[in-house]
Structure 1
Amino acid sequence: SIITDEVRFVHPIEKKVAVSSAFGLRRHPILGRYIEHKGMDLPVPVGSPVMSVADGEVVERGHDRRAGNYLTVRHNDGWYSRYLHLNTVTVRKGDRLSAGETIATSGNTGLSTGPHLHLEIGYKGVALDPAPLLSGSPMLLARRMR
């Protein structure tokens, strides 16, 4: 597939911080076994604003033992983003969002070693490394996805 410039990603938090756990295979810090980490962790204090990485629609809002409070947002052309370990969620299922709109506050819910935002970005059901997507231009994305 060729990705168009329909989706441009913005950072989900106000300040850029060092990634505390990157995308890919890693030893889970709580479970102790190797598991595919489908996103990246951004260490931020509880209550930090979390923004949508692109225009979209909230398709899932929930809580589970691992993810804690979470949101899933559907974007154009098969793209989606997920936000895990949230403290408070300020949007509802069905809400239309703009890129950069505040959707939640960061937290430490679910299986978590400390306050952070776990961000996933995917395309047609496949999780991708968010780091280059947040820093790349649409043309770079198109070349990477071919």
Structure 2
Amino acid sequence: MKRRWFNDSMTLLVIRDAEQAVKQVNVPKMLIVSVPIAALMSISGLILTMQFTSAKEINTLKGQLSSQSLALDVTVKDKDEAIRRLQNEIVRLSAEAKDVKHRVQQMSDLENRLENFVESHLGSESAAKPPKLSLSRTSWTETEQVGGEAWYADTDELIQLARQSSFELKQVQQMLNTVAQSAPATLNQAIQKQTTIAGTPSIWPTTSRRLTSSFGYRQDPMTGRAAFHAGIDIGGEVGDPVYAAADGQVIAAEFNHARGNYIIIRHVNNLETWYMHLSRLSIQPGDNVSKGDLIGKVGNTGRSTGPHLHFQVVQQGAPIDPSPYMQHSHTQVEAGGKDTY
């Protein structure tokens, strides 16, 4: 039976110095083969171990990089969201600021209208006006003379500031809405009030102040019988000016055998003023007149005993006493004067 190869041995000759004998060493073949194999396996194991360790480290690094990348993405997204929110707040505040600016301009226009109205109709131009607030620049450069600690606002604080500004703008808008709704009504009321004042008889219609006959029952100067006198008679000279007692529209300017040359002006509140016995008419029907306008001249036309103006106030078709309307005007009753019709 043959011997197996791994049972065989190999002879190794060890040659040393020339003077020394050659030494023979018998080495089993198994040993010679197993040593390289063991070395190869050891090297392979080391390589595998190094590869496994490297792969593990690489996976760990990948995990760390992935976590850091995710955190960075979240941070970037948070910043982008914050910037977007700030941009939206800025856009909204800009729109609200434009609306407030428009409302303020409207209020300024209303203020100007009210001021012009007061100045033109109520004579407030002589009243002292309150000083207007003005901002003046100083003689130095402000940016070079400032200081203080720096407390920088973060994103949340900026957003909160924008929201607070938006809330304050809305409050201003509500105030402007309230004023804008009430101011036109106030202006209309003032205009209507002024129209009523201007259209209500309140000035003496002639330069003369001599009252020769009052309103009410009296003895007729021509017949001597009791008769109702529908107005007041103001004595004067032919040609004296006659003025409109209030704003209104002329509805009659003509001649009548009893009234002579006469004028009727229609005013507010269903009021009319009548002017009779004129020597001259300076207006015609359809004309609009203002309080104090010249409308005619004192005369002695129609049923009259002498130059005078018959002035009467009519309300809803019925004559009323003119005295309450003329109470602020100075009158002088002619002593012992003869009544004129």
TM bucket by the smaller chain?
A: 0.7 to 0.9
1:33 aligns with 2:225: yes
Q: Which amino acid aligns with 2:272?
A: Y
Cα distance between partner residues in 1 of 2:240 and 2:250: 20
Cα distance between partner residues in 2 of 1:66 and 1:113: 12
Query: Unmatched 5+ residue regions in structure 1?
Result: 137-146
Pairwise CA distance, 1:8 = 4.6
Pairwise CA distance, 1:9 = 1.6
The equivalent residue for 1:90 is 282
Pairwise CA distance, 1:119 = 0.1
- Higher share of residues assigned helix: 2
Cα distance between partner residues in 2 of 1:61 and 1:110: 14
The equivalent residue for 2:178 is none
The equivalent residue for 1:59 is 251
How many equivalent pairs are there? 132
Cα distance between partner residues in 2 of 1:64 and 1:80: 18
Cα distance between partner residues in 1 of 2:304 and 2:231: 14
The equivalent residue for 1:70 is 262
Cα distance between partner residues in 1 of 2:309 and 2:280: 12
Cα distance between partner residues in 2 of 1:91 and 1:58: 8
Cα distance between partner residues in 2 of 1:23 and 1:67: 16
Cα distance between partner residues in 1 of 2:234 and 2:211: 5
1:14 aligns with 2:179: no
Secondary structure of 2:210 counterpart: coil
Cα distance between partner residues in 2 of 1:122 and 1:93: 18
Residue among 308, 321, 324 paired with 1:116 = 308
The equivalent residue for 1:143 is none
- Higher share of residues assigned strand: 1
4+ residue runs over 2 A deviation = none
Q: Which amino acid aligns with 2:266?
A: R
Query: Unmatched 5+ residue regions in structure 2?
Result: 1-192, 329-341
Are the equivalent residues in 2 in contact too, given 1:30–1:111 (CA < 8 A)? Answer: no
- CA deviations 1:37-63 (Å, max 9, x no partner) are 000000010000000000000001111
In the superposition, the TM-score normalised over structure 1's length comes to 0.85
Larger Rg: 2
Q: CA RMSD in A?
A: 1.4
